[in-house]
């Protein structure tokens, strides 16, 4: 794609194109990071990129650069650039849009592969793609333009909306409900039974898990993640909530809209999570904990009591992030602290 075509397409996008210069209308074939870009590549500098990357752009071998319009250093630097550039309010969004038109998704074959097994009374919408060795249980529904890759197992009475992408070998249990434009990555498990056992004198009594999982529109679930259904009621992930790989969402958890949870997060049963909550990798959230809107927890945080909206927390048990940073800095000094106390005690006991 010629550089000027990219300019025209970005003008129609959401990234806020401010200015551009065509030094040489090259063919842009691929995209790369600033450090690795070579001729015919396009690359970008993010608004928040480290300062040292500003030097890299001077020497970049990329044929085109997406640069932040709000960075005054950049407006100086571009005067001396010999490559094509675009100044843009949000270069990261521009880069995402550029990837979309440089690398269009492969189109899956429509129709049902001859090895797929479709149960009784299954409703399948128009333009659906169902891959090899897929199994769809009785009374399930697959909405228009949904793509189900090879080896997926959908149990009974599952309702899947339109334009979903379900990757290979993932499993969706009975009664689960997916909205539109969801992505379920490979080997994820949606609607498995919650972990509920009641102690008795004869051992564990299993609590039947007859609830269901609901994923609202635009929810994405990472590879190998598990979203459990509850004993009664629903586990609900709010619209546009994004879940990374190997995340556990316990029975009866609810989240608001637009949350993001990084890999290996674990949310115990019944936790209630607000809108736009961000949990970094390996965070744990306890049973029935309530987390307010826009809370951010840094990696490995353990949240075992409620957190008010807007807080940034860290550590285990979770405390305010800034306090945790100071406490952690002092943790390293504990041997010195203990020694200082021994010496003070000695002096004071004289």
Footprint of a second copy on 10-39 (CB under 8 A): 14, 30-33, 36
Q: Interface residues for a second copy in 108-127 (CB under 8 A)?
A: 113, 115, 117
Q: Is 175 helix (H, G, I), strand (E, B) or coil?
A: coil
Q: Which is nearer to a second copy, 137 or 161 (CB)?
A: 137
Contacts 24+ apart (CB under 8 A), 68-71: 69/16, 69/18, 69/19, 71/45, 71/47
Minimal distance, residue 281 CB to a second copy, in Å: 5
Q: Name which of 163 and 173 has its Cβ closer to a second copy.
A: 173
* Contact set for a second copy, span 202-241 (CB under 8 A): 202-208, 210, 218, 220, 222-226, 228, 231-233, 239-240
Query: For 315, left (φ over 0), alpha (ψ -120 to 50), or beta?
Result: left
Give the x-and-dash track for 45-64 against a second copy (CB under 8 A): --------------------
Q: Give the distance, in angstroms, between the CA of residue 200 and the centroid of all CA atoms in the same chain.
A: 40
Residue among 79 and 332 whose Cβ is closer to a second copy: 332
Tokens of 282: 């390996």
With binding defined as CB under 8 A, does residue 139 bind a second copy? Answer: no
Q: Which residues contact 49 (CB under 8 A, 6 or more apart)?
A: none
Helix (H, G, I), strand (E, B) or coil at 74: helix
Calculate the dihedral angle through the C-alpha atoms of 112, 118, 121, 127, rounding to the nearest 10 degrees: -20
- With CB under 8 A as the contact rule, the residue among 143, 151, 256, 274 that binds a second copy is 151
Under the criterion CB under 8 A, does residue 337 sit at the interface with a second copy?
A: yes
- Where residue 169 falls (left for φ over 0; alpha for ψ -120 to 50; beta otherwise) is left
Instruction: Name the strand (E) or helix (H) holding 337.
Output: helix 334-349
User: Quick one: which of 4, 25, 49, 174 contacts a second copy (CB under 8 A)?
Assistant: 174
What residue has token string 């056992």?
Answer: 197
1 is an interface residue for a second copy by CB under 8 A: no
- Pick one of 27, 55, 76, 331: the residue that binds a second copy (CB under 8 A): 331
Report if residue 281 touches a second copy, rule: CB under 8 A: yes
- How is residue 217 written in tokens? 């529109």
User: Judged by CB under 8 A, does residue 149 bind a second copy?
Assistant: yes
- Of 283-312, which residues contact a second copy (CB under 8 A)? 284, 286, 299-300, 302, 304
Q: Closest CB to a second copy among 144 and 207?
A: 207
Distances (CA, A) of 346 to 122, 148, 266, 320, 342: 81, 73, 47, 36, 6
Closest by CA position to 89, among listed 109, 70, 64, 63: 70
In angstroms, what CA-CA distances link 303 with 64, 231, 257, 312? 45, 23, 20, 11
Among 189, 236, 237, 289, binds a second copy (CB under 8 A): 189
**In the complex, minimum distance from the CB of residue 232 to a second copy, in angstroms, rounded to a whole number:** 5
Closest CA to 328 of 315, 311, 341: 315
In angstroms, give the least distance from the CB of 70 to a second copy.
16
Using CB under 8 A, which residues numbered 76 to 115 contact a second copy? Answer: 90, 92-93, 95-96, 99-100, 102-103, 106, 113, 115
- Per CB under 8 A, does 180 bind a second copy? no
User: CB-wise, 87 or 227, nearer to a second copy?
Assistant: 227
Q: Distance between terminal CA atoms of the chain?
A: 83
Catalytic residue among 149, 167, 173, 251: 251
Q: Mark whether 251 is an active-site residue.
A: yes
State yes or no: residue 66 binds a second copy (CB under 8 A). no
| Min CB(80)–a second copy separation in Å | 26
Tell me which of 62, 129, 131, 289 binds a second copy, using CB under 8 A: 131
**Residue positions annotated with a catalytic role:** 251
């Amino acid at each position: 794609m010629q550089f000027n075509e990219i300019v025209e397409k970005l003008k129609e996008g959401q990234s806020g194109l401010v200015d551009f210069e065509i030094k040489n209308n090259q063919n842009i074939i691929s995209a790369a990071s600033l450090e690795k870009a070579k001729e015919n590549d396009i690359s970008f500098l993010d608004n928040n990129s480290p300062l040292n990357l500003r030097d890299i752009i001077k020497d970049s071998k990329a044929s085109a650069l997406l640069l932040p319009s709000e960075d005054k250093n950049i407006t100086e630097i571009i005067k001396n650039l010999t490559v094509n550039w675009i100044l843009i309010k949000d270069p990261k969004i521009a880069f995402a849009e550029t990837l979309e038109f440089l690398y269009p998704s492969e189109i899956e074959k429509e129709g049902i592969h001859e090895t797929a097994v479709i149960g009784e009374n299954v409703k399948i919408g128009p333009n659906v793609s169902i891959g090899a060795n897929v199994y769809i249980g009785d009374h399930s529904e697959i909405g228009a333009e949904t793509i189900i890759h090879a080896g997926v197992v959908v149990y009974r009475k599952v309702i899947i909306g339109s334009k979903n992408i379900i990757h290979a070998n993932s499993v969706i249990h009975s009664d689960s409900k997916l909205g539109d434009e969801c992505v379920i990555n490979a080997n994820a498990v949606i609607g498995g039974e919650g972990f509920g056992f009641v102690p008795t004198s004869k051992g564990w009594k299993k609590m039947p898990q007859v609830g269901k999982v609901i994923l609202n529109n635009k929810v994405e679930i990472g590879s190998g993640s598990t979203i459990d259904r509850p004993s009664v009621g629903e586990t609900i992930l709010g619209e546009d909530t994004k879940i990374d790989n190997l995340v556990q969402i316990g029975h009866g958890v609810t989240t608001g809209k637009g949350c993001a949870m990084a890999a290996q997060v674990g949310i115990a049963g019944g936790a209630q999570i607000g809108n736009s909550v961000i949990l970094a990798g390996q965070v744990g959230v306890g049973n029935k904990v309530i987390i307010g809107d826009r809370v951010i927890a840094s990696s490995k945080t353990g949240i075992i009591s409620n957190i008010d909206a807007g807080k940034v927390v860290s550590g285990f048990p979770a405390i305010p992030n800034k306090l945790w940073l100071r406490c952690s800095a002092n943790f390293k000094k504990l041997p010195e602290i203990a020694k200082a106390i021994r010496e003070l005690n000695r002096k004071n006991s004289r």
